[in-house]
Structure 1
């Protein structure tokens, strides 16, 4: 028998014309984390039946694209693509519609077998696929949202998201069933540089910022180094990385 919570969101979705109760999960997540903003280009991976697509279009009012192996019933104002999200052909169709993507979202779940270890592994594999696709189509600073099932492989996946984004969060939506093991992993600020927090680099300081911090450039990426003088070469520990620039401090003894 469905729970009261499930009844509430199921009925509310029907009343408001949403295709699934999952629509409210995206609403809650976006209110809390601001993943999708007005005018954003959004790609929804594994979008069928279209509940998240409806909400993404509502919030963005921009280009919203849903991708799924199954046919998605048309959503007013949204683009739907029937195809494998991992295939170059499908990704090319996305780029035909939009030059850059501000947010990639994925509420897909694997076909469940009833074997928990297997289902968890399949969930993580699907989430990794979504992350890999997001890395190909996200603009610098873009955001990522994916559903995963908790288990042994969960923390490793969260860590992987953390390596590709400035900030990573996990969140269980109030619209999720209490007994459900599903949790959402959120990456904000997609990083296109290979530099990560904690790295120690030997840098040439070739400029000075407005606040007097030294500036180094690594493959076009800007790093601000407190207390570093222009013309010096110093060993720097990276303290924070943003999509377009990072911060570091001089290692002691240098």
Structure 2
């Protein structure tokens, strides 16, 4: 039996609206996207196969699907009808949901049969998803986006990497053998106002559990070795994580 038929038939038997549901299952198993309480936004979500999987894997969270097409109701899922290129649609999404833990996009262009054009259009859609992720993801949140392989892939991956702790490339087994599709997974949304190597002067306002001094830079927490509450010290940033960083004294 061809793999295409295997996943198509499984989707029918198990009640999923599309065979792509198995791609998201495999992405989660590879990249650890969901927790029970995740807030998830699925872009271009019709007909809803990914929404079904997200609702299963974040049963105590919030799952929201957005598409220009109408999405038939799914238990435990909210849907929005709108075009992501419309700034008002994106602003309303942000205002309603606040911060999300995961942004998903399985969007694909209408196929023209001209590979370079289809690839470029897929990159454009992926960049739309990245723009949404930059606006709504909580620090440490994840992005998973589909794109067709091609010459613009490296540039897209570099742009995602700038916004996240790291990027993974995943090709789910459920993708068709002949398909050039792959998924870029940005792990750990970075919103830190500092970068590794920065040197600055900070005030130590508290002491952490391990004895390090704690400084705040625009509400971002930095742990400073060999510093005590009340110190004002010059530091060099040694490591940056989504929610906190580490620094060494240089004074």
Q: Under a length normalisation based on structure 2, what TM-score does the superposition of the two structures give?
A: 0.88
Which secondary structure state, in structure 2, belongs to the residue aligned with residue 156 of structure 1? helix
**Partner Cα separation in structure 2 for residue 215 and residue 179 of structure 1:** 53
Corresponding residue for residue 18 of structure 1: 16
Corresponding residue for residue 38 of structure 1: 36
Q: Residues 159 and 5 of structure 1: is their aligned pair in 2 closer, same or farther, counting only changes over 3 Å?
A: same
Moved over 6 A (4+): none
**What is the RMSD computed on CA atoms of the aligned residues?**
2.2
**Partner Cα separation in structure 2 for residue 15 and residue 235 of structure 1:** 59
Moved more, 17-26 or 150-159: 150-159
What displacement does 1:118 show?
Answer: 1.7
What do the CA deviations read for 1:192-245 (whole angstroms, capped 9, x no partner)?
22333x342323252543333343322111122344566353351432x22221
What displacement does 1:38 show?
Answer: 1.1
Which secondary structure state, in structure 2, belongs to the residue aligned with residue 103 of structure 1? strand
Moved more, 6-15 or 136-145: 136-145
What is the number of residues matched between the two proteins?
A: 248
Corresponding residue for residue 111 of structure 1: 110
**Partner Cα separation in structure 1 for residue 49 and residue 136 of structure 2:** 22
Corresponding residue for residue 28 of structure 1: 26
Moved more, 198-207 or 38-47: 198-207
Moved more, 210-219 or 128-137: 210-219
Corresponding residue for residue 138 of structure 1: 137
Q: Under a length normalisation based on structure 1, what TM-score does the superposition of the two structures give?
A: 0.87
Match of 1:54 among 52, 55, 61: 52
Which secondary structure state, in structure 2, belongs to the residue aligned with residue 29 of structure 1? helix
Q: Residues 234 and 109 of structure 1: is their aligned pair in 2 closer, same or farther, counting only changes over 3 Å?
A: same
Corresponding residue for residue 248 of structure 1: 247
Corresponding residue for residue 194 of structure 2: 195
Moved more, 115-124 or 104-113: 115-124
Corresponding residue for residue 164 of structure 1: 163
Provide structure 2 residue ranges, at least 5 long, that are not aligned to the other structure.
Answer: none
**Partner Cα separation in structure 2 for residue 192 and residue 199 of structure 1:** 16
